[in-house]
Structure 1
Amino acid sequence: MNRIWESNAEDNKVTFTYHAADGEEGYPGVLDVKAEYTWSEDNELTLRITAETDSATIVNLTNHAYFNLDGENAGSVLDHEMRLNASRYLPTDDTQIPTGELAPVAGTPMDFTQFKAIGRDIEADFHPLKVGKGYDHCWVIDNYEKGTMKEVAELRSSKSGRALIISTTQPGMQIYTGNWLAGCPESISGSAYSDYDGVAIECQGFPDAPNKPDFPSPVLRKGEKYDETIKFKFTTL
């Protein structure tokens, strides 16, 4: 369901706010959400998301931007190299719902603990990749501590010489390699997107956490404050 948020721009910051009514999309409780995007002089974009409710409800918020460090209309990101601070990931069933297992990435195509081209193993004979036609899974951030900012991912392109370093307070990150981008709206240059033309690195809580008691809880209660941050730092190689 799409919603237009209220917005306010001031200096180097844009603040978006949204008021969700009790029962909207089936979720209990009123929810007031604020997303603050702040741009710094050292090429760092900080997203801080806060929320409060009047009744216990489920909250798991993130950003779903696609990145291509070679620029707009530059084609596939499969040659981009990625490193993740994550030695485990969440296996899913055939409907891509997590099974509840936290599986090691070692020895599998899910291993990005060292820099690796996104496309190197994307066509491997590995069931998780077959289900989603590529990467569309949640990685478990190593040594997660609630409320503590950690560097969790780096994306780089030798073609452009650009790099992106991501830090967050969140426990997981969903990596989606644009497996179904073809047929999406035209780009700003008027070209059509193709599959794998961008990669999303979505720092968030674990999917299906309400049904998995061993996952970090996504429940926000009255009197508590949801407060999570994601930082995107752009630099050069």
Structure 2
Amino acid sequence: MNLAPDLNQVQFVTLSNTQLKVTILTLGASIQSVYLNGYEHSLVLGASKLTDYLGSAKYFGAVVGRVANRINKGHAVIDGNVYQLPPTLPEAHHLHGGPAGTGSKNWSIIEQTDDMVQLQTKLADGEMGYPGNMVVDVFYRLLDSTLEMEIKATTDKLTICNFAGHSYLNLDGTGSILDHQLSVKADHYLPVDASLIPTGEVTPTAGSAFDFHQLRTIGREDYPELDTNFCLSLINRPVQTVATLKAPITGLTLNYQTTEPGIQVYDGRHIHLDADSNINKGELNAYAGVALEAQHWPDAINQSHFPPILLAPEDTYQQITRYEFG
């Protein structure tokens, strides 16, 4: 079975206001570019070739799910029933909804204005191994110098649900974020094993290499490798700033805001994109961007003390995440 989307059907949506110009792809509901008034470079990484979104630029700016992050060996027990979800090769684990998750589907445009677009995709019962027919909507809105992403989902059968936006940020356009400064308002983080599956421990950040309460420069020697979930809360909360990213060269700041109880921070150390594929026309290599991924905690279906990711037919999943540039 061919899981690849028809790239000839992909549409480009441009949103703009006085402060921002944003391009959204229906492929993966992906944020391809974000331009802030007065700056020539995109503040997120994006590919100019659609084929790269199925290869070296996979997940760039995409909405990934129906369960973002990793599920240990794809094993899930839902209401006493065992489900085996396919691995996302070359990993042994199920990652970002599987090999044909929402990040590689071509979404439909439901509504569009100058500064808003609603995209939708439908996931069938049994698709990628998950129970339940699911309808997923993503709304992108421009609010002055803020890009808002709202994700909603419903199901007709008890299932698991945990979406994330997967944009890579670079606020100065130099091809490296090693001079950027990052802070994260998290008192705990999740240690992982060698294959990035949480051990089950919820560890205080204080006194550890993962204490980001104060701004820290990403390229410093004491900076840990990051593909790490920071624990913000045990439940969804009103939208609030959970992380700040600053670029000294441009002076730009991103306040990253969300309702979600966790944020995965990935330092982009495996990025590689050729110069002719990058919308900013420069080769992208390791640490070209940092991904901030608001979500529930990884492998939550196998960790009973993590915030739950079950979604019932009578409920609606909702996430609001905002990129506030200044």
User: Which consecutive residues of structure 2, in runs of 5 or more, have no partner in the other structure?
Assistant: 1-99
TM-score (norm 1): 0.89
1:70 aligns with one of 172, 184, 195: 172
Q: Which structure exhibits the higher relative contact order, with contacts defined as CA atoms closer than 8 Å and separated by 6 or more residues?
A: 1
Matched letter for residue 203 of structure 2 = A
1:154 aligns with one of 221, 244, 250: 244
Matched letter for residue 182 of structure 1 = H
Q: Measure the CA separation in 2 of the matches of 1:152 and 1:50.
A: 21
2:205 aligns with one of 81, 90, 105: 105
Q: Which residue of 2 aligns with 1:44?
A: 146
User: Which consecutive residues of structure 1, in runs of 5 or more, have no partner in the other structure?
Assistant: none
Moved more, 180-189 or 210-219: 180-189
CA contact (8 A) 2:124 2:134 kept: yes
Q: Which residue of 2 aligns with 1:84?
A: 184
CA contact (8 A) 2:158 2:310 kept: yes
Q: Measure the CA separation in 2 of the matches of 1:11 and 1:190.
A: 27
Q: Measure the CA separation in 1 of the matches of 2:235 and 2:156.
A: 26
Cα 1:180–1:138 shift into 2, 3 Å:
same
Q: Measure the CA separation in 2 of the matches of 1:218 and 1:176.
A: 21
CA contact (8 A) 2:175 2:282 kept: no
Q: Measure the CA separation in 1 of the matches of 2:253 and 2:210.
A: 21
Cα 1:3–1:218 shift into 2, 3 Å:
same
Instruction: Give the 5 Å matches for 1:202-213.
Output: 202-213=293-304
Deviation at 1:184, TM superposition (A): 6.2
Q: Percent identity?
A: 36
The two structures, once aligned, show a CA RMSD in angstroms of 1.5
CA contact (8 A) 1:13 1:38 kept: yes
SS of residue in 2 equivalent to 1:32: strand
CA contact (8 A) 1:69 1:163 kept: yes
CA contact (8 A) 1:147 1:228 kept: no
Moved more, 2-11 or 62-71: 2-11
Spell out, residue by residue over 1:141-167, the C-alpha distance to the aligned partner (whole angstroms, 9 max, x if none). 1x5542422210000011101000011
CA contact (8 A) 2:274 2:282 kept: no
Which segments of structure 1 move beyond 4 Å, counting only runs of 4 or more?
none
TM-score (norm 2): 0.65
Matched letter for residue 137 of structure 1 = T
Matched letter for residue 205 of structure 1 = H
CA contact (8 A) 2:134 2:156 kept: yes
Matched letter for residue 190 of structure 1 = K
Number of matched pairs: 222
SS of residue in 1 equivalent to 2:128: helix
Q: Measure the CA separation in 1 of the matches of 2:219 and 2:212.
A: 12
Q: Measure the CA separation in 1 of the matches of 2:298 and 2:199.
A: 10
Q: Measure the CA separation in 1 of the matches of 2:216 and 2:203.
A: 19
CA contact (8 A) 1:109 1:121 kept: no
Q: Measure the CA separation in 2 of the matches of 1:190 and 1:145.
A: 41
Q: Which residue of 2 aligns with 1:3?
A: 105
SS of residue in 2 equivalent to 1:181: coil
Does residue 197 (structure 1) correspond to residue 288 (structure 2)? The answer is yes
